Amino acid sequence: MLELQSVSRRFGGLTAVDNVSFALQPGSIVGLIGPNGAGKTTLVNVISGTLRANSGRILFDGEDITRIKSYQTARRGIARTFQIVQPFRDLTVRDNVAAAVLFSRNGQSPSTSRDIANEIIGSVGLASLGSNRASTLTLAMRKRLELAKAIAMQPKILFLDEVNAGLNSAEVDEALALIRDIASRNITIVLIEHLMKVVMSVCTRILVLQQGKLIADGTPDEVTRDPAVVQAYLGSRYAKQRAVHA
- Kindly tell me the sign of the dihedral angle through the C-alpha atoms of 155, 148, 204, 70: positive
**Does residue 246 register a pLDDT over 70?**
no
> b/e for 125-136, b at 16 or more Cβ within 10 A?
bbeebbeebbee
- Kindly tell me the sign of the dihedral angle through the C-alpha atoms of 185, 188, 192, 193: positive
Q: End-to-end CA distance of the chain, in Å?
A: 33
In angstroms, the CA 108 to CA 186 distance is 23
Split at pLDDT 50, 70, 90, the class of 70 is: very high
In angstroms, the CA 38 to CA 196 distance is 16
**Contacts with 20 (C-beta within 8 Å, 6 or more apart), sequence order:** 4, 6, 7, 8, 43, 56, 209, 212, 213, 214
Strand pairing category for 2-11 and 55-60: antiparallel
In angstroms, the CA 189 to CA 100 distance is 19
This prediction has a pTM of 0.90
Instruction: Give the Cα-Cα-Cα angle 48, 34, 49 (nearest 5 degrees).
Output: 10
**Does residue 244 register a pLDDT over 80?**
no
pLDDT digits (tens, 9 = 90+) for 80-100: 998 888 899 999 999 999 999
Split at pLDDT 50, 70, 90, the class of 27 is: confident
Q: What mean pLDDT do residues 203-217 have?
A: 96
The Cα-based distances of 124 to 105, 136, 177, 208, 212 in angstroms read 20, 17, 10, 29, 34
pLDDT at position 82 is 87
Instruction: Give the Cα-Cα-Cα angle 92, 97, 98 (nearest 5 degrees).
Output: 90
**Does residue 167 register a pLDDT over 80?**
yes
**Does residue 107 register a pLDDT over 80?**
no
Mean pLDDT estimate for the chain = 91
Note the Cα 121 to chain centre separation in Å: 19
Q: What mean pLDDT do residues 18-37 have?
A: 94
